Amino acid sequence: MIAIPSRHKSLVLLAGVIVLQVILLAMQIKRDSQGRLLRVWTVGAVSPFERAGSYGFGWFRDTWRHYFALRNTTKENERLREENDALKLQVAQLQGKAAEADRLAVLLNFRKSHADVPMIGARVIGASAGAASQTIQLDRGERDGIRRNMGVITPDGVIGKVVESYSNTSQVLLLTDKESGVGATLADSRIQSPVGGQGEPLLIMKYVPNDDSVNLGERVVTSGMDRIFPRDLPVGTVTDIKPGNPFKQIRIKPAANLERLEEVIVLLSLHPLEMKSEADPAAAQPSTPGVANSSTAAKP
Amino acid sequence: MIDTFEIRGGGSHIEVHKFRAGAIIIATLLALVIQASFPVHFARAAILDLPLLVTIYFGLSRRNPSTGLLLGMSIGLLQDSLSGPTVPLGLYGIAKTIIGYLASSIGARLDTEHPAARFALTAVFFIAHQGLISLTRRILLAQPESWFNMRVFIAALVNAIVAVFLFLLLDRLRKRS
């Protein structure tokens, strides 16, 4: 047997470990498997800490924003502020809850105005562990009816789609990820083209010929052609247009603030959806409280 | 038990540090959880790569290439599995394996205790890490990826600054000699 000099053992180990991982990569590409078992274990182990951290951090941030950060704004009032510390702390906590209630009310109104679409609200508890992907983690998963390829939105617009669903959590690929995309239409000219991410805050509209007329500030909405999102959901607005070869280079600012997501809505359907317009008075009528619960979510 | 010992060679000596029980595991898991949680509240925090900084720190401190590369591999694979299915298992794994190996190899030859040395090494390792990810994406995954841009340069500087302070914090986990 060939003896390996001790000074070369770590090099041999390095080579072996890298070869193993290259084989692991190759297997994932060839079989299209994503190492689900390891991912389930890791996410299952980390998500409770993320969940706890998310709630704890939210409390800390609200307290900081509404209490400590304001504490030294005026020196004259310092003595008075100290006297009222306890009271302000309570106010800060209530303000945080009120802000959260406002956000949830917006979500609830959105859901009521689209009662025919099965959907469920979820809280963002984590983000991607590296810059190679743009994902977020939700506190709801398979037990709540969430499956892969379901669309994720906020009342402001499209967020992305579910790429992995675990029992209690799920991962969402944001529109800004390089591998993300959504079927879209320019709202005024009705030109259809997919919109995708490029790993940056702005999105890109890919296949609009140079001959077509596109205006800065024009709204971009979903086309429904991807069979994930219903038609006419806001995607973003055109912020930059450059001629390209053979297609224009159109950059789009997402309608939803993808960098500050706290609560989102998951569209609980893998079938093409039709969503009524916000302007449709029939759709805007408040519906029964049942629309916000999982009974609605169970609709096909 | 010897907690700190020295590598001698060429007239110089370099300390090899040991850490309190569980310190490496807890620091690693904490880095992964913070990495996955912070950007939700501070989008700009996504520029940090805490798992990489932990890999570099323990590599430089332990100064054993075998443990350095195995720790790098473990952290990388965990980061892969937390990054969603668009990141294949092995992408960060390969990059951090090599960085862990390089950090512990360099740590065994140089004194890396000075903040300036830590700053420079972290910046270089960060850029090398991005280069390895680009290389893996281009060659093994056939995905277009830029080698270097201004964003990587800025991220390297930011991570190097954070590393100086983070490493001082992690120094407290060392066993006293």
The 10s digit of each residue's pLDDT in A148-191 is 889 999 888 899 999 989 988 999 999 999 888 899 999 888 88
Average pLDDT, chain A: 78
* Closest by Cα among B44, B42, B55 to B93: B55
Say what the pLDDT of residue A251 is: 93
Whether B86 and A9 lie within 8 Å, measured CB to CB: no
Whether B82 and A43 lie within 8 Å, measured CB to CB: yes
Cα separation, A152 vs A161, in Å, equals 5
| Residue-wise DSSP of A127-194 | E-SSTT--EEEES--GGGT--TT-EEEETTEEEEEEEEE-SS-EEEEETTSTT-EEEEEETTT--EEE
Find chain B residues with C-beta within 8 A of A179's C-beta. Answer: 86
Query: Are the C-beta atoms of B101 and B69 separated by less than 8 Å?
Result: yes
Residues in chain B: 177
3-state secondary structure of A238: strand
Query: Are the C-beta atoms of A182 and A194 separated by less than 8 Å?
Result: yes
Cα separation, A195 vs B78, in Å, equals 31
Say what the pLDDT of residue A292 is: 35
Whether B40 and A46 lie within 8 Å, measured CB to CB: no
Q: How confident is the model at residue A295 (pLDDT cuts 50, 70, 90)?
A: very low
Here the ipTM equals 0.79
A195-238 confidence digits (pLDDT tens): 999 888 899 998 888 888 888 899 999 888 888 888 888 899 99
Cβ of A67: how many Cβ atoms within 10 Å? Answer: 19
Q: How confident is the model at residue B134 (pLDDT cuts 50, 70, 90)?
A: very high
Say what the pLDDT of residue A279 is: 39
H-run or E-run covering A137: strand A135-138
Say what the pLDDT of residue A70 is: 65
Please give the single-letter amino acid code of residue B76. G
What does residue A253 show for φ and ψ, rounded to 5 degrees?
A: -85, 125
Q: Which of A71-75, A97-101, A166-170, B55-59 has the lowest mean pLDDT?
A: A71-75
Q: Would the pLDDT of B95 be above 50?
A: yes
Judge if pTM exceeds 0.80: no
Find chain B residues with C-beta within 8 A of A128's C-beta. Answer: 36, 39, 46, 82-84, 87
Q: Which residue has the tokens 């959105």?
A: A110
CB-nearest partner of B86 from A129, A163, A260: A163
Q: How confident is the model at residue B10 (pLDDT cuts 50, 70, 90)?
A: very low
3-state secondary structure of A265: strand
B105-127 confidence digits (pLDDT tens): 988 788 788 899 999 999 999 99
**Residue B90 burial by CB count (10 A; 0-12/13-18/19+): exposed, middle or buried?**
buried
| Residue-wise DSSP of B1-35 | ---EEEEEETTEEEEEE-B-TTHHHHHHHHHHHHH
Whether A61 and B41 lie within 8 Å, measured CB to CB: yes
Say what the pLDDT of residue A261 is: 86
Find chain B residues with C-beta within 8 A of A50's C-beta. Answer: 33, 36-37
Find chain A residues with C-beta within 8 A of B41's C-beta. Answer: 57-58, 61
CB-nearest partner of A130 from B49, B65, B88: B49
| Residue-wise DSSP of A100-126 | HHHHHHHHHHHHHHTTTS-EEEEEEEE
Query: How many Å lie between the alpha carbon of B157 and the closest alpha carbon of chain A?
Result: 16
Query: Are the C-beta atoms of B173 and B23 separated by less than 8 Å?
Result: yes
* Closest by Cα among B147, B137, B164, B138 to B60: B164
Cα separation, A201 vs A181, in Å, equals 14
Q: Describe the crossing of helices B65-82 and B50-62 by its angle, rounded to 10 degrees.
A: 170
Residue A43 in tokens = 């996410």
- Kind of pairing between the strands at A203-205 and A249-254: antiparallel
- Bridge partners for A242 per DSSP: A249
Q: Which residue has the tokens 């689209």?
A: A114
